[in-house]
Amino acid sequence: MIDESAEPPESEETAAPTPEAEASAPVPADEPAADPAVPAPPAALEEDIDDDAPAAPRVKPAIPGADLEVDIVLEGADPLAREEQEELDAAAAAAEEDRADEQPVAAAIDLAAGARYRATGKRKTAVARVILRPGSGAYTVNGKTLDDYFPRPALGRNIRQPLETVGYEDRMDVVVRVHGGGVSAQAGALRHGISRALLEADPNLRGELKRRGFLTRDPRVKERKKAGLKKARKRPQFSKR
């Protein structure tokens, strides 16, 4: 007689898997394989890390153009002329720094009461007739002082360069008659004339004055206009029909 209360034996399908079967079982594709060397952090620890992390500070949006400088042009002022003047002042300041490192040249000039040294300087269409004589370093240009005739500081510094080079800026007066050209051309002609007058006073200064470019006449002039053109090189607008 069969005992029905006895449990039936487990089949092969419902039997518990062995350790060898678990090791050989494939890992599902949607679940990444866990690294046995790195233990998984507990859930409570993950929550504490998220709570302790500081919130990212809010970044203020940048204002477009906040780093630009305000450039105000007065009504009736020419911005191009102002830029040109700034370039001239910067170039003159750089040249003055270069001259500061050089020592004045030793010159042997006769400073007798009746000594007069004359020369002519030119630049573009400007002509300056210069007279050097013993004095206190005063400049007289067409009956006016140097600062009144040449209000630009850069032009005044260029004119004083020859006498400062030889160390006679406080021992000689300069009397000039200048005509033709513009203000910049007249300043160049005046510097050229003073340099040539110093050469008349002491020929030994030629090497130093020439090295600094004071004895070289600036040959740059405005280019002439050509026939059929509006200016030296500006052409009329081309029309196909």
In a domain, 14, yes or no: no
In tens, the pLDDT along 218-236 reads 999 999 999 999 999 999 9
In the chain, the number of structural domains is: 1
Amino acid at 80: L
Does residue 237 carry a pLDDT above 80?
yes
Share of the chain above pLDDT 70, in %: 68
Q: Do residues 153 and 92 touch, judged by C-beta distance below 8 A?
A: yes
Does residue 53 carry a pLDDT above 70?
no
3-class state of residue 115 by DSSP: coil
In a domain, 67, yes or no: no
CATH of the domain at 140: 3.30.230.10
Domain span at residue 193 reads 117-211
In a domain, 81, yes or no: no
In a domain, 86, yes or no: no
The average confidence (pLDDT) of the chain is 79
Return the residue matching tokens 């039936």.
8
How would you classify the pairing of strands 126-134 and 144-145? unpaired
In tens, the pLDDT along 149-186 reads 999 999 999 999 999 999 899 999 999 999 999 999 99
3-class state of residue 186 by DSSP: helix
Lowest mean pLDDT among 103-112, 161-170, 200-209: 103-112
In a domain, 132, yes or no: yes
In a domain, 41, yes or no: no
d(CA 61, CA 85): 39
Does residue 208 carry a pLDDT above 60?
yes
In a domain, 79, yes or no: no
Element (H, E) at 120: strand 117-123
In a domain, 93, yes or no: no
pLDDT band at 1 (very low <50, low <70, confident <90, very high): very low
Q: What is the pTM of this model?
A: 0.57
